Amino acid sequence: MKLERFIQLWTHRYHKYSHILKANLFGYRSGLHFKTVKSKLKQGQKLVAVIRTEHFGDIVAAEPISRYVRSLYPDAYMVWFVKPAFNELVGFNPAIDEVLQEFCVTQREVLLKTGVFDEVFQLQFKNNNHCPKCQVYVENPVAEQRDINIYNYFDYGNLLEVFAQSGGLIPAKTAFPADDQPRLYLQKKHTEKVDSLHLDKKFIVIHCQSNYAPKDWPAKQWEKLVQWLADQYDYEIVEIGLKSNLEIKAGAYRNLCGQLSILETAEVIRRASFFIGLDSGPSHLGNATGTFGIVLMGSLNNFPQYNPYSGSYGRQENAFFVRQEGMPCSALSFEFVREKVASVLNSRKVEKQN
């Protein structure tokens, strides 16, 4: 074996096994912490875990579960497991007593094996939680029993319903039995940050890239849509997201990509006249903040047509889905999207005037 390859191999092994060691240590330490928490609870008071660690749109979609579990266990001490990057989505939720910022799934596995929790609701479906460094999957026994997996999950309903079924909170293939409108818990610091941006009073917020390429619409099409919006309407066009892939010359366009936290982004969306974007995390923020959404969607993997949303977006009371059954989002023509967007903007304008 060449020296360079030998060094690469052992560097990889060092990072892998140090990561696994750290995950185990975190798991045992968390177990001790929650044993201490449990020892201080009143007699009969349960320690409950709810696990939905990623992605941020999924966490927003699952928010009604926090209130539903609270209604089932009003006196319980509820802990929500989440990845550190998404802590703010659950950290301000009044239904949740504590947030566990999960290092990786191995930490979770070690912690759950302690048996410290009286009730555990794992909201992930099969094949859905993986640590690439530990090279392990941690499976949810309820999802395995019900065969809810990455290939068929939308056969079980919208994301909220799928998560509630995966957690064993409701029977398989049933509707969510409580308030299904996702909520966010925006704080003063989020509004102050957006105040400092001095956005126009009338603006449309757009989101043009998801974390999964099959859901995307080509950048050149977005550029044409932004230019058309700027030419035809008196709105500022504000792009949000992690990073822009657009080249826009229109004066009405403003790029805020990479400048905001998740909840600051939610506050921008909340203030917008319309949200135009993809089936991705920010569209769930639009649903939770009450901004009318125009969502570009297409077929997805095994699903020729699907609906990920609950609440007002799910019922299309406060949203319009731009799609053609069986066609991926990337294949939607500019003319088709422009026509649908124009029909929504013009009809909503007439409604406001009346």
Amino acid at 126: K
Confidence bin at 354 (pLDDT 50/70/90) = very low
* Cα–Cα distance measured from residue 213 to residue 218, given in angstroms and rounded to the nearest whole number: 10
Confidence bin at 137 (pLDDT 50/70/90) = confident
Q: Give the pLDDT score at 121.
A: 98
What is the CATH T-level fold of the domain 3-166, as seen in this structure?
Answer: Rossmann fold (3.40.50)
Which residue bears the tokens 């309903």?
157
292 to each of 19, 202, 286, 320, how far by Cα in Å?
A: 43, 13, 7, 8
Sign of the alpha-carbon dihedral angle for 70, 76, 80, 81: negative
Residue 323 · residue 298 · CB < 8 Å: yes
Confidence bin at 353 (pLDDT 50/70/90) = very low
Confidence bin at 119 (pLDDT 50/70/90) = very high
Mean pLDDT of the chain: 94
341 to each of 73, 95, 222, 298, 306, how far by Cα in Å?
A: 44, 37, 12, 16, 20
Average pLDDT over residues 105-116: 96
Among 121, 115, 129, residue whose Cα is nearest residue 83? 129
Give the residue extent of every domain in the chain. 3-166, 189-353
Q: Edge-to-edge, what's the strand order for the sheet holding 274-278?
A: 253-255, 236-239, 203-206, 274-278, 293-296, 319-322
Does this model's pTM top 0.85? My answer is yes
Same CATH fold assignment for domains 3-166 and 189-353? yes
**Residue 243 pLDDT greater than 50, yes or no:** yes
CATH class of 189-353: alpha beta
What are the pLDDT digits (tens) for 158-175? Answer: 999 999 999 999 999 999
